[in-house]
Amino acid sequence: MAILIGKDTRVLVQGITGRDGSFHTKLMLEYGTKVVAGVTPGKGGQEVHGVPVFNTVQEAVDETGADTSVIFVPARFAADAIMEAADAGIKLIVTITEGIPIHDMSRVVKFVAEKGARLIGPNCPGLITPEEAKVGILPGQIFKRGPIGVISRSGTLTYEIVSHLTAAGLGQSTAIGIGGDPIIGTKFIDLLQMFEEDPETEGVALIGEIGGTDEQEAAEFIKNHMSKPVVAFIAGRTAPPEKRMGHAGAIISGSSGTAAEKIRVFEESGVPVAEIPEDVARLLKEALGK
């Protein structure tokens, strides 16, 4: 495997009997992911696409050895679902749910860290190690195994840029959508460190957007700690201040959150910034000498 997930990952789906949970369970199974259990309280004993359903995460973990959970639970129940997974010993929790209140996430992130688990999301498309496993809603057909790590705050931009990478002959080691909410679990820096240490990854595509300062912190990390080339793309160059653009975290509230500021910091850190999505592949090929 590259990072976080691979062919031996054992996945549990929280909210498996709902519309989205059932639909994406089927697609994950078709991709080859080992989906070993589902959880919906009160629905234990059923099956969804041949996957056994349990009433609690603890029961599912005890019976199936699941080590990763993907959450399709409605927003008002999602915080409890994340904490239930962490409390049951799940080590990787991927939260697709959007609209989780910020005050819920502030306590969830602390709880997950105390339990020694890793949270991806919320409000994210999940992650994929091409040709091994996908956990979430990413369209598996556009991904191809290769040397480029992908980290993104944006779902649909991830798909566009990955399609350009694949077309240019640059497959992906692992691609992760970290989510666009103000409070998320795993950040750019966490994954940059993993890709730096991953022998299968030769370069990284980083897809950011307006709002917050995570991109600036990533630029500083890249300058001081990354030996592998990183190419960035920042969405929202024309976004007006104080207006939310898509994600809950994509709002400019001060100069630090603008696309111009993020681009400036990346370029000063020696990170090329693509003007349009398709340029990411070209810049990575140049950086890698391919």
| Contacts for 86 with CB less than 8 Å, ≥ 6 apart | 93, 111, 112, 115, 117, 119
Q: Report the C-alpha gap between 39 and 67 in whole angstroms.
A: 14
Which DSSP string do the residues of 61-125 spell out, in sequence order?
HHHH---EEEE---HHHHHHHHHHHHHTT-SEEEE------HHHHHHHHHHHHHTT-EEE-SS--
State both tokens at 165. 């990478």
Closest among 143, 138, 110 to 124, alpha carbons compared = 138
Catalytic residue among 24, 103, 164, 247: 247
Closest among 52, 49, 87, 92 to 70, alpha carbons compared = 92
Say how many C-beta atoms besides its own lie within 10 A of residue 255's C-beta: 9
232 close to 215: Cβ distance less than 8 angstroms: yes
Nearest-Å Rg of the Cα atoms of the chain is 18
Q: Report the C-alpha gap between 108 and 196 in whole angstroms.
A: 28
262 close to 216: Cβ distance less than 8 angstroms: yes
Q: Catalytic residue at 247?
A: yes
The one-letter code for the residue type at 213 is T
Count CA within 13 A, CB hemisphere, residue 222: 26
Secondary-structure percent of the chain, ordered helix, strand, coil, rounded to 5: 35, 20, 40
Catalytic residue IDs: 247
